[in-house]
Chain A
Amino acid sequence: MKNRRRNTLFFIILAGTALCSVTLAGGLLYEGAAAADFAQKNLPPCPAHPFGTDWMGRDMLRRTLAGLSLSVRVGGLTAAVSAAAALVLGGAAAAFGGWVDALISWITDLVMGIPHILLIILISIACGRGLWGVTIGVALSHWTSLARLIRGEVLQLKGAPYLQLARRLGVSRGRLVKNHLLLHLMPQFLTGLILQFPHAILHEASVTFLGFGLSPEQPAIGIILAESMGYLTTGRWWLALFPGLSLVGAVMLFALAGERLRLLLSPATAQD
């Protein structure tokens, strides 16, 4: 028990620190990331430029950090928006039932039925691409599975004898929601929120990589990877390797933190 708690806390602190420092560093380095220095172009990794430089002499470490920072911010925003949408829609479907439930369940099935990438590309194009296009696209396509989970949970809670009893004992509706419903939904909500984070980052990067997302002058990981494709055959491996690895690293960190949080919050495995 202590091991898992310590382990989870460690991962969450690590992920939180990484998130903050990357966002901060990316913000500070944003100006420098675009600075070209043609005297230093195409340098392989060296002490002055640990990640090397590109064909315009831009430092790849700065570009990668700025790109990750952008990804983390987009990921955080979209994960928060879609988790909140899932909570509201799933909760409303279960609480009201009837046609509200039918409508929300139908929309959920509809959004789930379309492949994510396709939906994000369509929404992104419709919203004029760029940062907001991708953000809206990812946010609008990622709430479905969490909404279903929350709907099921609320339905189950609605029938629970202890809630029926509390209501007949005169506990007010607001207190029922605050003391009972939210308390029971918190583990699913938190786990869903953290696990949505890496998903959102990856989708943002892949849509940008495909050319439907952020614009080329922005230092996004997807842009860096897409550009590096043209230079891989000329032997400039560092252009793709380090940005790619750091993206995988960031995503893994959040996936592992989310998985540990899920195990800790689930009563069946919390004491293992």
Chain B
Amino acid sequence: MILAGKNLTFRYPRQKGPPPVDGVSLTLSSGERIGLAAPSGRGKTTLCRLLAGWERPQAGQVLLDRLPLAQYRGFCPVQLLWQHPEQAVDPLLRLGTTLHEAGPVDRGILDGLGIRNSWLERYPSELSSGELQRICLARALGPGLRFLLCDESSAMLDLITQAQLWSFLLSQAEERNLGLLVVSHHAALLERVCTKVVSWAELVESSTSPGTAGGCG
């Protein structure tokens, strides 16, 4: 499977100034793990939102195997691991409800991520960010998953937990031939985890035809 964002341009409603994402292209194949590093405010999170289908681009399109992503109903094959886990779960629901809301999660995934049964009885405010992020990851690793976009998804974790989560995620990615996009400021992490590291400038250049200047410097 191939996830392709082509010439994406997006500006939030009533936003002034240049669009955060302007003529960006990215192609991600199954089994590939692309690392993306760029300075803050360059539009990495917005790009992830576009690729995961949270927003519709004003120009360009997001295709999954040549079909527009918007055509997929139910569990979306492209999932975004949100950078703030405490915003990614409903604060008023017990985590057990949140975890199994879209369908039961495999026991092996819960064990692999070290999710304890006692967590599922609690509310999000009673767990740490790291514990919440494991629950978010378990939810995203549903059977229909093909591509996972990790937007600074381990920045809030201590090093040991980071290592545990990444090794589990990498084993899942190998086993299930998942495509990963890893956005991080952490160069060492990208080196270790990804098969390819790209810069923001490369994403913009790859989509501009020769002779026209890139929109984002």
Contacts and interface: CB of A to CB of B under 8 A. Distances in A.
Nearest to B136: A165
B142 A169 contact: yes
Interface string B22-65: 00000000000000000000000000000011100000000000
A96 to B, nearest CB: 16
Interface in B66-125: 73-76, 79-80, 82, 84, 87-90, 92-93, 97-98, 101-103
B89 A162 contact: yes
Which residue of A160, A165, A183 has the most chain B CB atoms within 10 A of its CB atom?
A165
B101 A175 contact: yes
Contacts of B92: 180, 183-184
Given A161-B84, A165-B88, A180-B90, A171 B53 contact: no
A165 B80 contact: yes
Interface in A155-170: 160-166, 168-170
A168 B79 contact: yes
Contacts of B80: 165, 168
A169 B93 contact: no
Nearest to A176: B101
B146 interface: no
A166 B88 CA distance: 9
Interface string A174-210: 0100011001100000000000000000000000000
Contacts of B136: 165
Which residue of B90, B98, B103 has the most chain A CB atoms within 10 A of its CB atom?
B90
B75 A169 contact: yes
Secondary structure type dominating chain A contacts = helix
B53 A168 contact: yes
A38 B54 CA distance: 77
B134 interface: no
Given A161-B84, A161-B88, A183-B92, A169 B101 contact: yes
Contact of B90 (A162, A168, A169, A170): A162
Given A162-B87, A179-B93, A179-B97, A168 B142 contact: no
A183 B93 contact: yes
A171 B75 CA distance: 8
B101 A168 contact: no
A168 B52 contact: yes
B75 to A, nearest CB: 4
Nearest to B55: A164
B88 A162 contact: yes
Contacts of A160: 87
A164 B75 CA distance: 12
16 contacts: A161-B87, A164-B54, A165-B136, A166-B101, A168-B53, A168-B76, A169-B79, A169-B139, A169-B140, A170-B75, A171-B101, A171-B102, A180-B90, A180-B93, A183-B90, A183-B92
Interface of B: 52-54, 73-76, 79-80, 82, 84, 87-90, 92-93, 97-98, 101-103, 136, 139-140, 142, 144
Interface of A: 160-166, 168-171, 175, 179-180, 183-184
Given A162-B88, A183-B90, 5 more contacts: A166-B101, A168-B53, A169-B140, A179-B97, A183-B93
